[in-house]
Structure 1
Amino acid sequence: MENIAVIANQFKPQGQVISIQEYGNGNINHTFLITLDTEGEKYFILQRINTQVFRQPELVMGNMRTITEHIHQRLQHTSLNQERLWKMPRVLLTQDAQDYWIEPKGEFWRAISFIDASQSFDTIQDTKHAQEIGYGLGMFHNLINDLPTEKLADTLEGFHITPGYLRHYEQVLAKTKITKSPEVEYCLQFVSDRSSWANVLEKAKEQGVVPLRPI
């Protein structure tokens, strides 16, 4: 963990690092909770970005900074936050005012503030829990609904474009000798029955029925 402490110190913590522990159950990025010996903000999150998934991590951080700054500004000038407490992490900057740090071996790191007493869940516990998740998602969408899409970069180009996946599936299917079974037949039929739906959202976007928005 000594190397992690060195990396954590790149983000100008207000105190000495006294504890490092792996945090959460994410399967893409590697996350650590950093504890400091300070009376102020005692914790922050340090995260190594998986550059095999996010090939342009600088764009990821640009988006994150744009969104978090936009939300903080909205919360200062909106009544949305009066009934219930709403907090958003802040992107922490390095000693040279960058929103990420690249380790000598090429690893890409970022840091964000930690919201005390917050919890992360892998599964929904009950209906009230589901309601809270819906509230949180709705609040997030409300806070970014006026954020111009041109301020955001597409960090995983084509990731949400269903017709692209269908084309790839059809290309692979045409070149593959399939061993038939009830399970395979079911899957083939499942895709075939729904293939006409694949272009619905893209067509709606092209026709102006569905506006382009951050999600």
Structure 2
Amino acid sequence: MELNLDSEVLKAYGFTKENTTITQIGTGLINRTYLLSPLAEEQKYIIQQINTSVFKSPWAIAGNLKAISDYLAQHHPDYLFIKPIPTIEGVEMAHINQEFWRLLPFVPQTVSLDVLTDPKQAFEAAKQFGKLSRLLNNFDTQTLEPTIPGFHDLGLRYKQFTQALSKAPEALKKQAEIQIEDALNHKYILDYYTSYSQRDDFPDRVMHHDTKISNVLLDEETFKGVCVIDLDTIMPGKFISDLGDMMRTYLCAFSENETDLTRIKIRLPYFEAMIKGYLSEMKSILTETEKELILFSGRYIIYMQALRFLTDFLNGNIYYPINYPTQNLDRAKNQFKLLSELLINEKELQGIIDKNQ
């Protein structure tokens, strides 16, 4: 799909419509992303518009990435961190006509996957996310600003659910009766987390917060991990955010949009590969409390996502895009089924964790 961007955006980075070709790429739902190919050089670039309806403070993203990039350049200069390229005026982003744009280097000979088809891919992805957090183990998280406040705050998500429940029409509550009961019955997950949250050895770390497989670049021939991308949500958080999100998105062959719940099963080889990959980087820095919560991280994130889908359904589908009226309810059903599968298999899953610690 050929597309012309505002010439002022191109001008901010020293390009013109005449000396570049621009093609829309990517499957992300949040930011618009394009491949920019200058006619006079081999290097290609990614140019991306930041969605300010999701990211209310784009400068917070820019500030976080600069701080992390500077730290890695000083302490781990060989690590490939995909940082934005400043405008010709030296600014981290281009602010044109109330829109925010950034330019990133395109990494050649790499691929990003939308679907996992081999446990080795889960291993490589988990290893890359773990590596980034390990390298930033001594980084001062207090210097970072949350780019989506409360993003993985289960207490906040439960409160939003109860508020939606109190205001929802009776017809919607009737449709979601079983899922509402599931949400209330699993509140013990929030209570369990709360009992750990103030422990001294449960630190805030630099977390990616969106560890789906498409946010890792792999070598296009060997499928070895190269680097982590899509860093808008990199901010302080608990380690369970990244590991839990990997469990939520790697362990089942089908996404949250699958409506045949008999297909929602845990793939043990993918779980083991993911745990091996993540712990190969993180094992040396995880605290005793964090080690206790490795499997719990899956409970936490899957339950939170189920709550978010259910809350959106009760609110009248105001956040997640839908293709039919009950899609968010179906997504909630899907996630509660995934949670139940995780719980059913916990003994075997914990055995895999114990073997790899």
Distance 2:22 2:156 in 1: 42
Distance 1:94 1:203 in 2: 47
Partner of 1:47: 48
* 1:16-44 CA-partner distances (Å, limit 9, x unpaired): 732111121111001111112344x5111
Q: Does the aligned pair in 2 maintain the 1:87–1:115 contact within 8 Å?
A: no
Gaps of 5+ in 1: none
TM-score, reference length from structure 2: 0.52
Partner of 1:19: 21
Q: By how many angstroms is 1:64 displaced? A: 1.7
Q: Does the aligned pair in 2 maintain the 1:162–1:199 contact within 8 Å?
A: no
**Percentage of matched positions with identical amino acids:** 24
Partner of 1:96: 89
Q: Does the aligned pair in 1 maintain the 2:19–2:40 contact within 8 Å?
A: no
CA gap 1:156/1:96 in 2 versus in 1, 3 angstroms: same
Number of residues of Structure 1 aligned to a counterpart in Structure 2: 202
Tell me how large the CA RMSD over aligned residues is: 2.2
Counterpart of 1:10 (choices 9, 12, 18) is 12
- Superposed counterparts of 1:104-115, under 5 Å: 105-115=97-107
CA gap 1:8/1:120 in 2 versus in 1, 3 angstroms: farther
Letter of the aligned partner of 1:127 in structure 2? Answer: P
Is 1:136 the counterpart of 2:128? The answer is yes
Is 1:187 the counterpart of 2:189? The answer is no
Q: By how many angstroms is 1:100 displaced? A: 0.5
Letter of the aligned partner of 2:85 in structure 1? Answer: L
Greater helix proportion: 2
Distance 2:194 2:139 in 1: 21
TM-score, reference length from structure 1: 0.83
CA gap 1:112/1:203 in 2 versus in 1, 3 angstroms: farther
* 1:159-182 CA-partner distances (Å, limit 9, x unpaired): 11111111121122223343465x
Letter of the aligned partner of 2:76 in structure 1? Answer: L
Look up the SS of the partner of 1:3 in the other structure.
Answer: coil
Distance 1:17 1:6 in 2: 14
Look up the SS of the partner of 1:186 in the other structure.
Answer: helix
